[in-house]
Amino acid sequence: MTKGSPFAVLIATAVTLSCSAPQPTPPDADVEARIDALLGQMTLEEKVGQMNQYSSFHDLTGPAPEEERARARLDDLKAGRVGSMLNVLGAEATRAAQKEAVEGSRLGIPLIFGYDVIHGYRTIFPVPLGEAASWDLEAIEASARVAATEAAAAGVHWTFAPMVDICRDARWGRIMEGAGEDPFLGARIAAARVRGFQGASLSDLDSIAACAKHYAAYGLAEGGRDYNTVDISEQTLRNVVLPPFHAAEEAGVATFMNSFNEIGGVPSTASVHLQREILKGEWGFEGFVVSDWGSIGELVAHGVAADLTQAAQLAVEAGSDMDMEAQAYVSHLVELVESGRVEEARVDDAVRRILRIKFALGLFDDPYRYSDSEREKALLLTEEHLAAARDVARKSIVLLKNEGGILPLEKGGTIAVIGPFAADKNAALGSWRGQAIPDSAVSLVEGIQAAVGSDATVLHAEGVPLIAGTQDFGAAPTFVEDDRSGFPAALDAARRADVVVLALGEGAFQSGEARSQADIGLKGLQDELLREVLAVNENVVVVLTAGRPLVITHVAGSAPAILNAWLLGSEAGHAIADVLFGDYNPSGKLPASFPRSVGQIPVYYAHKNTGRPATPGNVFSSRYIDMPNEPLYPFGYGLSYTTFEYSAPRLSAAEMTPGGSVEVTATVKNTGERVGTEVVQLYVRDLVGSVTRPVKELKGFRRVTLEPGESKDVSFTLEAPDLAFFTAEGKWEAEPGDFVAFVGPNSRDTQEAPFTLK
Ligand code: NOJ
């Protein structure tokens, strides 16, 4: 645990840290002594109980449960055999469940209540991939702060967020829950979200414990298929997958969640290397690790455990401290310890970690402190929270194309808003939508109408429905493939309009857990609708709603303007209208590459050079013969309504000493006619390494706002630790040699300057 950790004062024991990590803060002896005293009073069964997490099993505020299972679980709660529950929601329900634990059990140890507060609790913010496109760490932190404030007021102590999985395959539905393809951007965002959720101190009533998940490499599943196998090198693990986890840990994250996948034959839940060696050993993490839902039980299906007993043994040995819903620990851990197969010290260590977080949250001082109906009524969905959601939503929008300056639109004339997402109030809420009110997002039609008032005529036609029936988390969507009955009305509106805003994309539950797609183009009849609309009116602005980068090569080849609007949350329609009419000049940049075709996947900017780098005209080089290697839109890409000109980067010195630094400066000028915000990006290439190095790696970024005609010098300071990586010798360090610094508006269009590390 590092300085700045909200519960750093509670941290015990010296730890081994990598050379660059800050020193741990000494433990709070008083709290550790209280934990010792408690452990001394606990039976083995009660200790194991702290390691058991159940999902909400019945309405604790209602009549006595009828089901036998629910009754058995309530008995477990009263007997001290449950340490945590998830999905118990609301001040009243959490108070009732807490009462069972505190007043019903022998030692009265409070429960910790967890919930998936992924992008808001009641006020819904853009999905995390969308927020990442803002590259605005303050706005992202503010979003997590609002989510924590609302969740805490509803009795939630702990969110299963941030998800910090690097993903380079947009087929994976869960790409929408993370910050995209890049470890540097991912690490900055991971830390910002931890700060936002946990606030200044975990003991504050508007702070909740965060959870870095899914540890590790869940986002690199083969074929982008959820829960699938991962087989990566230690180099990829350390250089690509782990940096955001390490950043979350350094920001003081209270908990980690392990992942469903295996890495090279070892499921993460049973991985000693990940949990004991790296997380709790090298990094000195003193919080606790929760399994993913049932992942301890899944060790049997993985084929590394013969039964649930062996699964429990493997998981506890590896350092999985809390069992989410597999019931492996509550059923078998006592017997494993009593028979000598698991040392009781393993159990004590896990319980100590869990109790630490409960102490840090103040639950031993007042177990009901979060469960306050008055606060709940006052703090959910306030004007202030909605304003914060609109702010980050408009910053998340990425302008992909704007041929002939068709955008921004005039607030006048006739505007036709067409497509399955024109009047939709559901998709923008996304998956993992907390306690959002159903169909509560501001639709695009509503947003546009509110923006133009009576100055323009707004026509609306759906054109085609995309998904048949109701959509929810529990079932895969069925796409409408043959209903063209809405075409005539849509084409009529398009003909009558000066401009068409065509709202295409994906529904709320096409991304998220278990929503991998082999085809990530536009589903149903959307392509046909686009073609027919363009045939009657060429002034078409396509607004894309989706939780992933889509394959839209044909859209980019035909429509003059494209806005990528992700799934933007409660204020979606207002935020999109702000951008459409130029009340906000778009500044978002892609946190993940947009492939030209699924066949390019995985496609990402920080690829290796290979021994035969792609060379035009040379067929025996590493390239496709039927399309370019490059994605349609690269990482870091996004346009503005103004234009920016970059100078070549200037270096303060051509050489860097190991303890020194080099300053990289570029002059950026607003050469257009509107004030605009640009995300200036710094990349580095390490030309020769003990292992091969990526052709470019992001090392810095800065948002700068420039008036028309204004120039600013934008500087970045590079030090040797910024150039460090996991070397052939297994050390995290920078290797002397030649480097190139690149500065530009995205990962592709950069200018460069060389330097040397001595
Ligand atoms: C399974 C998901 O993988 C995880 O991210 C989530 O936190 C848990 N379910 C609890 O809902």
Q: Assign residue 724 the CATH number of its domain.
A: 2.60.40.10
Q: Is the CB of 213 inside a 6 Å radius of any atom of ligand 1?
A: yes
**What is the structure's pLDDT at 643?**
98
Helical H runs in 361-472? Answer: 373-379, 383-396, 444-452
Q: Nearest to residue 522, comparing CAs of 477, 565, 489, 479?
A: 479
φ, ψ of residue 445 in degrees (nearest 5): -60, -45
573 Cα–ligand 1 center, Å: 29
Question: How many helices (H) and strands (E) would you count in the chain?
Answer: 21, 29
Specify if 195 maps to a domain.
Answer: no
Helical H runs in 109-166? Answer: 128-132, 137-153
Q: Nearest to residue 451, comparing CAs of 577, 563, 584, 541?
A: 577
Q: Where in 604-746 does DSSP place strands (E)?
A: 644-646, 650-651, 655-656, 661-670, 676-686, 697-706, 711-719, 725-726, 732-733, 737-744
DSSP annotation of 633: B
Q: Nearest to residue 631, comparing CAs of 661, 663, 605?
A: 605
Residue ranges of the chain with pLDDT lower than 70?
1-27, 58-66
- 680 and 735 part of one domain: yes
Residue among 269, 289, 324 to mutate when testing ligand 1 (max atoms within 8 A of CB): 324
498 Cα–ligand 1 center, Å: 46
Q: Which atom belonging to ligand 1 lies closest to the Cα atom of 211?
A: 7
- What's the domain range around 81? 50-115
- 479 and 587 part of one domain: yes
343 Cα–ligand 1 center, Å: 29
Structure tokens given for 647 = 């100078």
Q: Is the CB of 513 inside a 6 Å radius of any atom of ligand 1?
A: yes
Specify if 375 maps to a domain.
Answer: no
**What is the structure's pLDDT at 11?**
28
- 571 and 702 part of one domain: no
Dihedral in degrees, nearest 10, Cα atoms 727, 733, 739, 744: 100
- 483 and 402 part of one domain: yes
Beta bridge partners of 742: 683, 752
- 557 and 440 part of one domain: yes
Residue among 174, 211, 257, 268 to mutate when testing ligand 1 (max atoms within 8 A of CB): 257
> Tens digits of per-residue pLDDT, 488-542?
999 999 999 999 999 999 999 999 999 999 999 999 999 999 999 999 999 999 9
- 550 and 447 part of one domain: yes
- Decide: 240 and 183 in contact? Cβ < 8 Å: yes
Specify if 471 maps to a domain.
Answer: yes
Specify if 41 maps to a domain.
Answer: no
- 417 and 562 part of one domain: yes
- 585 and 664 part of one domain: no
Q: Is the CB of 46 inside a 6 Å radius of any atom of ligand 1?
A: no
Tell me which of 600, 634, 660 is where a domain ends. 600
Residue among 56, 116, 260 to mutate when testing ligand 1 (max atoms within 8 A of CB): 116
Q: Is the CB of 293 inside a 6 Å radius of any atom of ligand 1?
A: yes
260 Cα–ligand 1 center, Å: 10
List the residue whose alpha carbon is closest to atom 1 of ligand 1.
293
Specify if 361 maps to a domain.
Answer: no
> Tens digits of per-residue pLDDT, 220-233?
999 999 999 999 99
Separation CA 435–CA 433 (nearest Å): 6
Specify if 204 maps to a domain.
Answer: no
List the residue whose alpha carbon is closest to atom 11 of ligand 1.
116
- Here the CATH number for the domain that contains residue 565 is 3.40.50.1700
Radius of gyration of the chain (CA): 26
DSSP annotation of 226: T
506 Cα–ligand 1 center, Å: 22
267 Cα–ligand 1 center, Å: 16
Separation CA 637–CA 397 (nearest Å): 12
Specify if 336 maps to a domain.
Answer: no
Q: Is the CB of 571 inside a 6 Å radius of any atom of ligand 1?
A: no
**What is the structure's pLDDT at 716?**
98
Beta bridge partners of 744: 681
Q: Nearest to residue 23, comparing CAs of 36, 4, 38, 40?
A: 4
Q: Considering 28, 182, 292, 424, which one is annotated as catalytic?
A: 292
- 576 and 676 part of one domain: no
Specify if 541 maps to a domain.
Answer: yes
Separation CA 576–CA 397 (nearest Å): 8
Q: Which atom belonging to ligand 1 lies closest to the Cα atom of 218?
A: 3
List the residue whose alpha carbon is closest to atom 10 of ligand 1.
293
Tell me which of 574, 600, 626 is where a domain ends. 600
- Decide: 199 and 145 in contact? Cβ < 8 Å: yes
Q: Is the CB of 116 inside a 6 Å radius of any atom of ligand 1?
A: yes
Separation CA 713–CA 652 (nearest Å): 13
**What is the structure's pLDDT at 66?**
60
Q: Is the CB of 298 inside a 6 Å radius of any atom of ligand 1?
A: no
Separation CA 751–CA 650 (nearest Å): 10
Question: For the chain, what is the domain count?
Answer: 3
481 Cα–ligand 1 center, Å: 32
- 553 and 475 part of one domain: yes
pTM for the whole structure: 0.95
520 Cα–ligand 1 center, Å: 23
Q: Is the CB of 136 inside a 6 Å radius of any atom of ligand 1?
A: no
Residue among 118, 211, 513 to mutate when testing ligand 1 (max atoms within 8 A of CB): 513
Active site residue 292: yes
Separation CA 169–CA 220 (nearest Å): 7
- 581 and 665 part of one domain: no
- 448 and 503 part of one domain: yes
